[in-house]
Structure 1
Amino acid sequence: MPKPFEPGEWIVLIASDPPRRWIARIGEKFSTAAGVFDLQDLVGQLPGSPVTSHLGHRLFAFRPTAADWVMHLVKRQTQITYPKEMGYILVRAGVGPGARVIESGSGSGASTLLFALAVGDTGHVYSYEQRPEFSHLAQQNVAQAGVAHRVTFKVKDIAEGFDERDADVVFLDVREPWRYLEQAVTALASGGTLVVLVPTTNQVSETLRALPSLPLIDTEVLELLLRHYKLNPDRLRPEDRMVAHTAFLLFARKCAL
């Protein structure tokens, strides 16, 4: 049985025609061209319940998914890792309850948040960032989602190495990841997964050149493309625009020598 909405909860409000979504909080008044919605009316209601404006229009209320948190609730000062990449990273690297994940850098905390949701209360995320202002923002975004207890934030230059050992995953989202591969491998457990995210092919090439000297195998490089379709069953076709390239992903597994 779903848990009823409580005062102060973040919710997603969804209109069906035309499809549109907004982020709001239970207990507030929310205004659109369709009128003013008193979200206090949703207290005690179940997810999926409607709320009606003073003009008689309806929106439907849901709890935010992980994608909603990242795309609509994370305050950004940096480029974020998008759900299409993070979804594959979580599956490919085997991030689940109990996993220990190291990431660098924290940025705005989008990937930190998704890792924290995935590892559960039995796992932990260690998030490194050189710039204090970014680390502070990431901490705020993770706390807003209610998973701050699953993350340890550190302001540190990873050239000095990571403090942890035997991590299941090390995720490098930095400009020159090839400079920190030795530090990442040292922090990884045997059998652990290295994940590198970069936006350009020359960064991938530099990283690949640095791999042969390290105890890493099962290397994979890829990018993911996501295309939405227009919701007309009689004239089904792709949307006119799409975000084509966002990032390249590189994966490798640490082996015992």
Structure 2
Amino acid sequence: MGKDDFRCIECNEKASELHRDYSNGILKITICESCQKPVDKYIEYDPVIILIDAILCKTQAFRHILFNTSLNIHWKLCVFCLLCEAYLRWSLLHGSKQSSDPADIIRYTKEWEFYSMFGLASLELWAFCGGVLCFLWLVVGLLQSRPLELSLLLRGLLLSCYGKVLLIPAVIWEHDYSPLCLGLIKLFVLTSNSQAIRVILNSSRRLSLMAVCVGLLSETCVAQACKKLPWSIQDVLTFD
């Protein structure tokens, strides 16, 4: 990162460095000139503590991850989360039906159904991200004439979808309240998305919630459209 690419996790002011390296391996955390607090206290913290604070949606933890680290696993995390969601949909598609004949074509049908679920999950995710980015571009970029880093927003949205990995244990340890668990996981992911938008834009909670609602509406419309189309992927690959 270059000069003034860092942010103070307390007041969001720009900083040129997070720490100063003296001789003999002595490090001193930089103090923010605006709030007189450490620019980023998390550089001394264990990653587990940072992860816990991120799960709790703490603003400081989100600023540390989004601004003060070079974490570039958002694409890998995105693919992994999509695989988790595709597995959930695939496992609920036919329940526990299994074929006794190992040569039965149903085995191959179910494999292609998993690929179709992955495609549908990907399409809905990009519809969500597209809806959020278009809304913010219109409101923040055009109406408020503020600079908007779409790549940073996309990175923040993908990283804040980490809650989808909870779909796997929700399927493995299924019980009578699984719909409630899935709803809570969805709510947690949307809350993390909203917090990421709020931190990146340094905006009000209302704006970030509106952006998430627009994205959710876009995702729902695409999902319903895929179900209504007579030539949808799910109908083509499902031989029921």
Query: What TM-score does the superposition give when structure 1 sets the normalisation length?
Result: 0.22
Task: Name the one with the larger helix percent.
Answer: 2
Task: Name the one with the larger strand percent.
Answer: 1
Query: What TM-score does the superposition give when structure 2 sets the normalisation length?
Result: 0.24
